Amino acid sequence: MRKVLITGAAGFIGSHLCDKFLDNNSKVVGIDNFITGDWNNISHLEENKNFQFIEKDVTESFELSGKFDLVLHFACPASPVDYLKHPIETLKVDSLGTFHLLEIAKESNSRFILASTSEIYGDPIVHPQKEEYWGNVNSVGIRSVYDEAKRFSEACTMAFYREYELDVRIPRIFNTYGPRMQLDDGRVVPNFISQALANEDITIYGEGSQTRSFCYIDDLIEGIFNLSIINGLNGVVMNLGSQEEYRILDFADVIIEKLDSKSKKKFLPLPEDDPKQRCPDINKAQRLIGWTTKTSLDEGLKNTIDYFKNIN
């Protein structure tokens, strides 16, 4: 059986990764300090013999017994509301934390997967974003605690690849949604769904002309899994995300209509440095791991809405 270490295991994506690897011939050690995670995301794994959970802050130095075949570093607050609430912790987990996990991977000679993000492209001038694009990031802006930390994490990861020939892969994840997101994490999908469910005003930041594309969690997990297990992809950087791009204003209409809600739109100021457009070029993922999204927005939203209704 493959032995896998997953940081951020109690988070939205990390908990789904734990499930995916446990379902596919793996023993999983999950680490989390619950800064934005939730035990409920992994409580169903408590009795699983192949799952071990360690409560730990990965920015503090630590040692683990045993060797790993695969290390996936997914610990990091991901919602803008969360990382702006925890700016220093965010910088630390994607600097000190990344170093610690790279050292653990090096000692085990394991494959290393870094959860990177479309945010490394900043407010992109090139559209859609290809992996070759270097981005447009404000290094002293409020979002830099996240963008620049992720860029630094990518640099660390590539240095370990070049210096120690560590087998590393970097998925750049675009906006992903689905069950186990926190209803109050401030991201657009949970905000709009919770507002529409309560018939409250839908909060549009700016004029709502900014665009995002939304990838369903199961599709993303399939992509990360493929990128993690296929041989011969050392040093590969890869966009993973949906190519169905929506203006936020139109996305609000989709949610209102889907929930048959009486909510009205309320316009609030656009947060500083909020990217105006975002959509991945996923040709590389299609070519190297045979990946594309499969779940329609309709189906993905249905599952997400059902989940939010049930936890209420």
39 makes contact with ligand NAD (CB under 6 A): no
* Minimum separation from the CB atom of position 5 to ligand NAD (A): 12
- Which does residue 131 touch among ligand UDP, ligand NAD, none (CB within 5 to 8 A, set by kind)? none
**Size of the chain, expressed as the number of residues it contains:** 312
- 133 labelled catalytic: no
6 makes contact with ligand NAD (CB under 6 A): no
Let me know: does 205 contact 270? Beta carbons within 8 Å.
Answer: yes
CA count, 13 A, side-chain hemisphere, 68:
27
Nearest-CA neighbor of 228 among 281, 176, 168?
168
The piece of 53-61, 242-250, 252-260, 288-296 that touches ligand NAD (CB under 6 A) is 53-61
Distance between CA atoms of residues 251 and 257, nearest Å: 10
Residue from the set 74, 161, 192, 225 that interacts with ligand NAD by CB under 6 A: 74
Residue type, 187: R
The answer for residues whose C-beta is within 8 angstroms of residue 285's C-beta and 6 or more apart is 223, 227, 238, 239, 240, 291, 292
93 makes contact with ligand NAD (CB under 6 A): yes
Let me know: does 258 contact 127? Beta carbons within 8 Å.
Answer: no
* Minimum separation from the CB atom of position 35 to ligand NAD (A): 4
Secondary structure class of 160 (helix, strand, coil):
helix
Q: Which is the catalytic residue, given 146, 161, 177, 216? A: 146
Residue from the set 26, 98, 117, 277 that interacts with ligand NAD by CB under 6 A: 117
* Minimum separation from the CB atom of position 260 to ligand NAD (A): 27
Active site residues: 146
Positions touching ligand NAD (CB under 6 A) are 7-8, 10-14, 31-37, 57-59, 74-78, 82, 93, 97, 115, 117, 173, 175-176
